[in-house]
A and B are shown apart, each in its own frame.
Chain A
């Protein structure tokens, strides 16, 4: 599969459609159970990176009994190398709002929030206007759904769904223990659907064009399209909507500068793939029988032969050390020690074998850290150290 797949450009997400009123009014005439089934059969998985089936999330929340429920659009896009959600919110915000309202209809929520990262505050005025227009229409068709913007304040960890809710509740953005999951106890302890911006736009496509149209794109276990944020050493950095399941080799043919040494898939918390493994790696969710499947929130960063992989790892670790919320010891101390450790090896203060110790530390972090941040440090650390071992030492 990985060898035969061609790169296919698709244009669903940014296609400008002026019929959101019609999409909304016709969708909320259908039964909630029918809409959930449509989502489930599309096999849409969360586009923020974790890949949880979206239909299931909506289903779980719809089944909860509660006087209040909430819909949250996670626009706290902070993964290094990811910038697609900003583009969605500035180009097709009405699709996001429509999808949130439909989600409210399906689950029984009357209130939605867009958690917008502080770095994107410049988007706020335009979004407020869009929301006003949207709510005006909802009012006209007697549909009760309100949307508010909640501004973040510069904390990467708040992209983690439960940390985001803590932040909305006026606390430090420290992730909660799961279970209970947000679908049961989310914002203010009420059942909450929290979806990534892009995920919501895909539901818009699915409700408008039908699940089949979406399902027919992509490959098994990784259906549909995905927005990719392409940056680094590439002649054409930018945002591209592509089918899932493509091979990294094809990707590099398209986006590389002819000297691509490695690609980081999934940002600082993702994996580094060296050139020799390009042809074996496919971009999509896990579950394929052969080859390496790499999930991604859309961050694709290319490095050419002029780059030092030590510097790349050093930059990632500094990022994690600063952004670790500090709540659990494995992550807080682990990130600090990894950074000190690679510097000590580089300076010759520790033997090369010390890298193996650090690798075991990342395994411990993967097992014991409370949330995805601490658990995923191992991804970039081990893939960089394994594939570019000599660059860590000399």
Chain B
């Protein structure tokens, strides 16, 4: 049994082998592996005993279930109206400059992925972004550079 297979088996033991457990299990796989590969989907389908097409259908519906390889830190910058009005683009340019990647890309060292997201619910403190589950608000290009520098330092220590 490879490591993904045993991860999925453990998660299925923990959450139960039923359809209602599908999303919690997929979320846990993404947490571990940074994304849900097709291989994981097929293994998950086998473990929960449902068609792989159903797993694929569910997985691809949700924007937080990554189905393409992603970095350890997924940056999601909010692009909805309040953030767009309050300078989200300048923040985005600063991130792109610093990480040398464009939207939808992952750094070659597989540390950072950069995505846009719809309303994150921080409109009164716009612009906002998530790095994994961590929230950052009232961003400016300077502020976001400092935040990323901290992550890069963390990166070096790992």
Contact = CB atoms under 8 A, between A and B. Distances in A.
B63 interface: yes
B124 A169 contact: no
A79 B120 CA distance: 9
Interface residues of A, number: 50
Interface string B10-35: 00000000111111101100000000
Contacts of B126: 231
A170 interface: yes
Interface residues of B, number: 37
Interface of A: 77-83, 86, 117-122, 150-156, 167-173, 188, 229-233, 237-239, 268, 299, 301, 303, 307, 311-312, 315-316, 319, 322-323, 325
Nearest to B26: A153
Nearest to A79: B119
Among B62, B117, B122, the one with the most A-chain Cβ atoms within 10 Å of its Cβ is: B62
Nearest to B19: A170
B121 A237 contact: no
A167 to B, nearest CB: 7
B134 interface: yes
Contact of B121 (A82, A230, A316): A82
Contacts of A307: 85
DSSP class of A's interface residues: helix, strand, loop or mixed?
A: mixed
Contact of B80 (A122, A229, A311, A319): A319
Given A83-B121, A237-B125, A312-B81, A153 B133 contact: no
B19 A171 contact: yes
B23 A167 contact: yes
Given A155-B61, A230-B124, 8 more contacts: A77-B121, A80-B119, A81-B81, A83-B123, A83-B124, A154-B117, A156-B118, A232-B82
Contact of B63 (A120, A154, A325): A154
19 contacts: A81-B82, A120-B121, A121-B133, A122-B134, A151-B24, A153-B26, A154-B64, A155-B61, A155-B62, A169-B20, A170-B18, A171-B22, A229-B123, A229-B124, A231-B82, A231-B124, A231-B126, A237-B123, A319-B119
Contacts of B24: 150-151
B156 interface: no
B132 to A, nearest CB: 9
Contacts of A168: 20, 23
